A and B are shown apart, each in its own frame.
Chain A
Amino acid sequence: MTIKNRKLHINNISLTITAVLFVALFTFGSVSYDQFFSLSTFLNLFNDNAYLIIASVGVTFVLLTGGIDISIASTIAFTCVFSAYLLRLGVAEYIVIPLVLLIGILLGLGMGYMIQEYKLQPFIVTLAGQFFMRGLCSVISTQSIPITNEFYKHVALNKIKLGSGKIYYYVFIALIIIFAAVYLLKYTRFGRCIYAIGGNEQSANLMGLPVRRTKITVYAISSFCAALAGVVFSFYTLAGYSLQNIGLELDAISSAVIGGTLLTGGVGSVLGTTVGVLIQGIIQTIVTYQNLNTWWTKVAIAALLCIFIVIQRMISSRTEKGKR
């Protein structure tokens, strides 16, 4: 069932480095700090980063086609603020959640359409999307809106005990998304088409694959995942605030890159991305344990991203040379 290909290729090298890095960081934490080494620490990585996992998985789809989406952080913020606003107005949660998810999909479709049909640069379109959604947040409210809805509270606070640790209900949403994404990318025509486009768009076109449809859809998936991440984030914080999650798009993209996704497209995996998120979670945890300024996390992640991109570049330029 498993395809044992891609040996000694870029993603495998990165993925190995990533896995080793994760273990190393975890070991480092365990040695340095008391009470670090526990199931609870590990599970908390999921509890605290469920929303980031969802968003990163979404953006992985776009990156695989060779595109980029930097609107996701704002989409998350918008989803939180808008849900909080609607809930405060007394709209029921079973209307709010589908509604915000639908808005996410529509935003993605709109951006994808402009990128694909009018050949606009993905970064400009999604940058505009980023400001559009962030602007809408402030239009709705510049203050933080608390969420008091019973359903939200229920999902936010309930958890399953597991040994010394616990898993919140909303973590399962992230797990479902991971499994769905793995299935989609590996066992459906749509998923394989994404890889083909990332490998060589012109070839994909000549082989008769639905390039246009696929490219628009990946942006819809990315925005949908961002909206879903927003829903999960509102479970996590029980509030909506227009300035939350600034810079999260970099976290999501670097998760994907650290997890072995090539920014030029065609190579990468959802599982790798997930490990990428967990690494960021561990860095965050270590920074907390070390009692450092939380901004260190951002700087460390940016540095890590840099290193991984440079490694990617080095490997790919070496293979290019080797081929000539």
Chain B
Amino acid sequence: MKKITRITGWQAFWPIMILLGILIFNVIITGGSFLEMKIVDHHLYGRIIDIIRNGSKLMLLSIGLTLVLATGGTDISVGSTMAISGAVACSIISGTLLTGVGGNVFVAILVALLAGAACGAWNGFLVSKIKIQPIVATMILMVAGRGIAQLITRGKIVTVNSDAYYFINGGYIFGLPFPLFIVGFALLLSLLLTKRTAFGLFLEATGCNSNASKFTGIHVSKIKFLVYTCSGILAAIAGLIESAGIKGADCNNAGLMIELDAILAVAIGGTSLNGGRFSIPASIVGAIILQSITTTVYAIGVPPEIIQVIKAVLVIIICLFQSTQFKTAMMNKLRIRKVA
């Protein structure tokens, strides 16, 4: 009995159950072809692989956002940061930016990541030092970021021609798509950071009660600064995957409206949007759930435009179930009905 409650009490338990449900649903409606995997040229292909590959960006963002949301903040600039990092990398590779390096792919990636870190640090600065509400602080970058990306690419869609760069999205190692390894690496690092150092504890304490945390000697503003920077770097990686996928930088559409998806993934993972307890694996599962829903919607032939609407409704539903006021209101209603 105790064992069962321990398993169901695990934050990732319900998300995993939901995911299994969606997968089983898919297996049934596709008549089993959903699970099929083919090996072509030592590369694994199949629906599930697609989900993981396409969901890799979202998973990366959800790691960053989990950290940010745990402190009680939010970051809606990740989409724009993706656009900036893509723009920087592609501009360098195509030789319009930093012409001195001659389009070196590794330099390009490094600078793009630095740009992402700078974006995140900027958000972190506004939130922790200037003490602007996170939503406003990150909204500034959300809007201005696309402008900055446009300025980097001079308003054009930059295309690149570099197999090394394409590898970020389309490459394979041991038959598995490369983005999977990136996510795995990021997950490992973030778990190391939160579980093997006290960072995780400090995050949760800050999110639960930042006042008390300050009194116990935690540098709350440093913690906040750090999580926004992490979120920026992860968004930059996601931006690289995206731009490697389309083989260029499209500042208008890169990561457009992905912010809500990322927040939703974290919420599905069970991390409260008010800060506090968090679980990165659960958020990853949340991201996979979202990606599978998208795949499913395509599979059952519903117009894909409706997905956005469904996601918006989902966010509200999840938030409602996190709200004590809502729960008590519902309880009261149930009780009245029972009495009657």
Contact = CB atoms under 8 A, between A and B. Distances in A.
Consider the complex of A and B and state whether they touch directly, i.e. have CB atoms less than 8 Å apart.
yes
Interface of A: 68, 70, 114, 117-121, 123-125, 127-132, 134-136, 138-139, 142, 246-247, 249-251, 253, 263, 293, 295-299, 301-303, 305-306, 309-310, 313
B146 A127 contact: no
Contacts of A263: 132-133, 136
A310 B122 CA distance: 13
Contacts, number: 132
B143 A131 contact: no
Given A117-B325, A249-B139, A298-B146, A123 B74 contact: yes
Contact of A128 (B147, B316, B325): B316
B139 A139 contact: no
A250 B139 contact: yes
Nearest to A264: B133
B143 A250 contact: yes
B308 A135 contact: yes
B246 to A, nearest CB: 18
Nearest to A317: B131
A294 to B, nearest CB: 8
Given A114-B320, A127-B260, A138-B305, A309 B130 contact: yes
A302 B305 CA distance: 30
B203 interface: no
Contacts of B263: 124, 127
B308 to A, nearest CB: 3
A193 B313 CA distance: 31
Given A70-B135, A127-B260, A135-B308, A114 B316 contact: yes
B76 interface: yes
Interface in B141-188: 141-144, 146-148, 150-151, 154-155
B336 interface: no
Nearest to A127: B260
A129 B256 CA distance: 16
Interface residue range, chain B: 35 or more
Contact of A313 (B132, B143, B273): B132
B310 to A, nearest CB: 8
What does DSSP make chain B's interface, helix, strand, loop or mixed? Answer: helix
List the 8 closest A-B pairs by CB distance, nearest first.
A135-B308, A302-B144, A132-B312, A135-B309, A138-B305, A295-B147, A298-B147, A295-B150
Given A128-B316, A295-B147, A299-B144, A135 B306 contact: yes
A118 B147 contact: no
Most chain B C-beta atoms within 10 Å of own C-beta, residue among A251, A309, A313: A309
B198 to A, nearest CB: 28
B294 interface: no
A303 B126 CA distance: 12
Contacts of A134: 257, 308
Contacts of B316: 114, 120, 125, 128
B142 A135 contact: no
B273 A124 contact: yes
Contact of A131 (B74, B126, B133, B312): B312
Contact of A121 (B146, B257, B274): B274
B199 interface: no
Nearest to B267: A124
Nearest to A119: B325
A139 B309 contact: yes
Given A302-B147, A309-B130, A135 B329 contact: no
Given A119-B325, A123-B135, A313-B130, 14 more contacts: A114-B316, A120-B319, A121-B273, A125-B319, A127-B260, A127-B315, A128-B315, A247-B142, A253-B136, A293-B151, A295-B150, A297-B147, A309-B132, A310-B130
A70 B139 contact: yes
13 contacts: A124-B315, A124-B319, A127-B76, A127-B260, A128-B316, A131-B260, A138-B308, A142-B305, A293-B155, A295-B150, A295-B155, A299-B147, A313-B131
B140 interface: yes
Contacts of A138: 305, 308
Contacts of B142: 247, 250
Interface in B89-139: 126, 130-133, 135-136, 139
Contact of A118 (B126, B155, B310, B326): B326
A313 B143 CA distance: 21
Given A302-B140, A309-B130, A120 B135 contact: no
A147 to B, nearest CB: 21
Contact of B306 (A129, A139, A251, A298): A139
A303 B76 CA distance: 17
